[in-house]
Amino acid sequence: MTQKPKLLRHRRLEVSDVNVVNQTMLKKALGGTIVGNTMEWYDVGVFGYLITTMGPVFLPEADRSVQTLFLLGTFAATFIARPLGGVIFGWLGDKIGRQKVLAATLLLMAASTFAVGLLPGYAQIGVWAAALLVILKLVQGFSTGGEYAGATTFVCEYAPDKRRGFFASFLDMGSYLGFALGAAIVSVLQLSLGQAAMEEWGWRLPFLIAGPLGAIAVYFRNKIEESPQFQATLDAQQALSADAAAADKAVAKGPLPIIKAYWRQIILAMILAAAANTVGYVLTSYMPTYLTESKGYDPIHGTLLTIPVMVIMAACIPLTGKLSDRIGRRPVLWIGAGSTIVFAIPAFLLIGVGNVWSTLAGLALVAFPVTFYVANLASALPAQFPTSGRYSSMGIAYNFSMALFGGTTPFIVQGLIEATHNDMAPAYYLMGTSIVGAIGIYFLRESARRPLPGSMPSVDTEAEARELVATQDNNPLIDLDGMPFLEDHAFENTARPSLR
């Protein structure tokens, strides 16, 4: 009887163990993921920019404030469905592969967004119109639940260790470009059609555009190949000892074993995601409503003013991702939390002045911490979990956080303003969430320039691989105990991640 290879805890690293990234395939994977992520967040963003327009379409007999709260609540419902999507798509992503699941989430998202554009209004079917809108937004949320967790996992597993922050940050750059694209399309339609035509039929067009855009994005996403680190893990499971294989299967059974195994990392990821996305959603999804409802701007200017801020912020996100590769994820996240606490009150005071220049300055102060926060979540959070359960863990942590705090932010801050009659309530809310976030950063495990847990090192060149092996004894970034070594070079034959 042939004995199965056993895990060894202290084998030395060899050049053949190190993954040398194929740059062509990396760029292809990154491009396909970014295109899809941009499309996803275009779909999410368009709804936020049309809230003040769609109110009379679905609740024409209600007060303006009730219309706004209903649509903000509908937007929040998108995020209530995200945990279920995160759990199911995360489990599938760890079982059958990242690429297949990411293609499915994008297809479902584009289809549900397109269907919103076909909905009849209150004038045709009464309150059923509002009910159908909520159902479609729940479908959107379900699909989005698998998107960000899968996209960040996928790119992190493709990228070289020393530049993971830089490459992963492009996902959030794509997200905010998607928001900006949605804002630009809505603004062009508002300027060219006018408010009356927008309420009658023009509001449908941005949703209908999601159909052809989604088809293009799905095409590009289907062209990318499976994550090499994940494929290596699948191959390695066939060579593991019976006990190790049983442990991996237990993790893959569902959410409860995942939560039990990684509850500390999951709670920490939830805290950081909540702190960062509270600021992010105030800027992207709530600010047009805030400028219109609380500051007297018309819907066109409420949307237009956010576009240049988001475009500039998106361009800066890769720079902060690159900075995190240099100085670490934690210091850059500290900047995000600290600047939120310091800038929140001045930002809303400037917006309250009511001039275009002061509003832009206030929006820029809100955008500044977002640039440091979100660029690093994409690389910091997946690195807290091992390869075999990374997608599932991220799906649970990120999406439960979004359901409780992130996507509900517009609804919560509008409710705070209505309850307190204080336009500064959003600033205080942002300060509170970032104080909690700062505590989370203190406990975060630094992951910059280190191999992902459960994976072998990943580098740009063969020369870098040889240098890494030669200096492994004195390299504080290398943890041999966390790498999947196999006896008799079994890892080299069955599990070594390779893009060559």
Q: How many beta carbons lie within 10 A of that of residue 492, not counting itself? A: 13
Identify the pLDDT of residue 298: 76
Structure tokens at 151: 């996209």
Q: Walk along the chain (500 residues) and give the pLDDT tens digit of each residue.
A: 434 444 444 578 888 888 888 888 888 888 888 887 888 778 777 887 788 788 888 888 888 888 888 888 887 778 788 889 998 998 888 888 788 888 888 889 889 989 999 999 888 898 899 999 999 999 988 988 888 888 888 889 889 999 999 999 999 998 888 888 888 888 889 889 988 899 899 999 999 998 888 888 888 888 777 776 666 666 655 554 444 444 455 444 567 888 888 999 999 999 999 999 999 888 887 887 788 877 777 777 777 888 899 899 999 999 999 999 999 999 999 999 999 999 999 999 999 887 889 999 999 999 999 999 988 999 999 999 988 888 899 999 998 998 888 767 878 888 888 888 888 999 999 999 999 999 999 999 999 999 998 888 999 999 999 999 999 888 888 888 777 765 434 333 333 333 33
Identify the pLDDT of residue 241: 43
- The CATH superfamily label for domain 15-494 reads MFS general substrate transporter like domains (1.20.1250.20)
CB 13 within 8 A of CB 213: no
All structural domains of the chain with their residue ranges: 15-494
CB 455 within 8 A of CB 289: no
Nearest to 455 by CA among 175, 158, 61: 158
The angle formed by the CA atoms of residues 184, 189 and 190, to the nearest 5 degrees, is 95
Identify the pLDDT of residue 486: 52
- Kindly report, residue by residue over 243-302, the tens digit of the pLDDT: 444 445 544 456 788 888 899 999 999 999 999 999 988 888 788 778 887 777 777 777
Give the chain's largest Cα–Cα span: 81
SS3 479: coil
- As a whole number of angstroms, the distance between CA 206 and CA 213 comes to 11
**Cα separations (Å) of 187 from 37, 465, 479, 493?**
22, 50, 51, 56
**Cα separations (Å) of 329 from 98, 363, 376, 449?**
24, 25, 6, 10
Nearest to 91 by CA among 132, 37, 145: 145
Residue 458 φ/ψ, nearest 5 degrees: -130, 125
Angle between helices 390-401 and 255-281 (to 10 degrees): 50
- Kindly report, residue by residue over 200-254, the tens digit of the pLDDT: 999 999 999 988 888 888 888 887 777 766 666 666 555 544 444 444 554 445 6
- Kindly report, residue by residue over 425-445, the tens digit of the pLDDT: 999 999 999 999 999 999 999
Q: Is the dihedral of CA 66, 69, 75, 76 positive or negative?
A: negative
